Amino acid sequence: VTVKKYLFAPGPTPVPPQVLAAMAEPIVHHRGADFRVVYKRCLERLQEVFRTEQDVLLFAASGTGAMESAVANLLGPGVPVLVISAGSFGERWHALAQAYGCDVDLLGYDWGETPSPEDVAARLSARPAKAVLMTQSETSTGVVSDVRALAAAAREGGALSVVDAISSLGAVPLETDAWGVDVVVSGSQKALMTPPGLAMVSVSERAWAALGTAPRFYYDWETTRVAQGKHDAAFTPAVSLIAGLDVALGMLLETGLEAAFAHHARLGAAAREGAKAMGLELFSPDEERSAVVTAIRSPDGVDSDDLLRLLSSEWGVTLAPGQARLKGRIFRIGHIGWYDVFDITTALAAVELGLDALGADVERGVAVTRALEAYSQSLRV
C-alpha cells in the first residue's frame, strides 16, 4: 500500500508547488541572459530577507558549507575564537573550528539551555577572541537565542559575531544590519521553502576588513563576491535550485517578513498548547520566540524513536527524532516555511494516535481543539 506522506520536520521542509514547478523548467545556461535575470533578482531578494545592504554570497552546498566558509575566510590555525554551544548545531561550530586548528574557547551549555549575553561578555573579557560563533535557532532543542544581545556582547568584547541562522532566517526576526551582526549563515531547506542544496552568507564591512589567511578555494568569499557583482557566477551555480529559491523568496516577501514572523509565532503557540493539552511535557521553552520547532518529551516508558517509526509506517507522518543525547527521549515537530495550522493539528493528531497505540497515558480528544484555540486567540490580538 502506498501511504500518503506528511513531512513535519524542521528541515528539509515541504516545498510549495510553485517552487517545484519553477525547478522543473528546462535547464538554462548559467552565463546566458535568461539565467542572469533570475540570478540577479534572487540575490536582491536574499538581501531583503537577510535585511542587509551587503552582498549575500550564494554557494551550492548544504548549510554547513556556508558555516565552513565563515571559518575558512575569517579564522584559521591558532586564531582565537569563542564558540557558544547548547546543542547539536553548536557542537558543529565547535567541530568546524577545531578542524581548522583554531584556538577554541568553548562556552558550553546543557542541551536545552538558552545562552546568555553576560556569559559571552565575561568569557571575552577573560580571553579575547576574533569571533564568536553562535546559533540563532538550535534546531536540536527548539531554543531560539537572543541574537541581538549575543551579537552586541560580541561586539562590545571586540569580536565579530557569526550567526548560524539556518533554521531561523525567514521564521523569526533577524535584523542583520540594524543589529550589527557581522556574518549570517543560512540554507535553502528550512524556512526558505526550497529543497536542500543552497547555502548563503552575508558579510559585514567589519568582517570584510578582517579576512584571515587560511587556505580556501571554492568557498573564498572574495572570489564569489566579485563574480556575483557581475551576475556571472564564479563556478556553475545550481541553476534549478536558484530558480526555485527565487520563486520561494518572492512568495515570502509578498507575504511580508513581519507577517511571516507572526505566522510562525502562531504555529509555535498552537503546537505547544496542543502538546500540553494532551498531557505532554515540552522540552523546548514555552515562549513565543521558540517558533521554529517544538520539542516534546516522550512520556515515561515510550521511546520516541518507536513512536516516530510507528507514525511513519502506519500513517506516513514524519516528525524529527531527538539527536545524540536526546535520542529516544524527545521528538520534534517542525513548523518553519510552508506550514499552516492544519499541519500542526495533523501532527498532533498523529502523535495522539501513536502514543495511544503504544499504551501511553495521553488525554484524548483535546489537543487539536486546544491548538486551534491557541491559533485563533493569537489571530485576535
Ligand X SMILES: *Cc1c(COP(=O)(O)O)cnc(C)c1O
- Name the site residues for ligand X (rule: CB under 6 A): 11, 62-64, 89, 135, 137, 139, 164, 166-167, 187
- Residue whose C-alpha cell is 575566510: 73
The span from the CA of 85 to the CA of 94, in Å, is: 7
In whole angstroms, the minimum distance from the beta carbon of 62 to ligand X comes to 3
In whole angstroms, the minimum distance from the beta carbon of 174 to ligand X comes to 13
Beta carbon nearer to ligand X, 148 or 276:
148
The span from the CA of 132 to the CA of 163, in Å, is: 8
Nine-digit cell string for 45: 531578494
Q: Which of 248, 275, 255 is nearest to 330 (CA)?
A: 275
Beta carbon nearer to ligand X, 14 or 299:
14
Beta carbon nearer to ligand X, 12 or 117:
12
Which residues touch 340 (CB under 8 Å, ≥6 apart)? 267
In whole angstroms, the minimum distance from the beta carbon of 135 to ligand X comes to 5
Burial 337-375 (b: 16+ CB within 10 A, else e): bbbebebbbebbbbbbbbbeebebebeeebbbebbbebb
Note the helical H segments in 51-183. 63-74, 88-99, 117-126, 147-156
The span from the CA of 180 to the CA of 152, in Å, is: 8
Beta carbon nearer to ligand X, 219 or 375:
219
Cβ(207)–Cβ(74) under 8 Å? yes
Beta carbon nearer to ligand X, 218 or 315:
218
In whole angstroms, the minimum distance from the beta carbon of 93 to ligand X comes to 9
Cβ(82)–Cβ(120) under 8 Å? yes
DSSP reduced 3-state for 110: coil
In whole angstroms, the minimum distance from the beta carbon of 2 to ligand X comes to 28
In whole angstroms, the minimum distance from the beta carbon of 76 to ligand X comes to 21
Beta carbon nearer to ligand X, 137 or 290:
137
The CB density around residue 4, as the number of other CB atoms within 10 Å, is 7
In whole angstroms, the minimum distance from the beta carbon of 32 to ligand X comes to 29
In whole angstroms, the minimum distance from the beta carbon of 168 to ligand X comes to 7
The span from the CA of 153 to the CA of 172, in Å, is: 20
Cβ(30)–Cβ(60) under 8 Å? no
Beta carbon nearer to ligand X, 88 or 224:
88
Beta carbon nearer to ligand X, 89 or 109:
89
Query: Dihedral of the CA atoms 4, 19, 225, 229 (nearest 10)?
Result: 170
In whole angstroms, the minimum distance from the beta carbon of 137 to ligand X comes to 6
Beta carbon nearer to ligand X, 11 or 112:
11
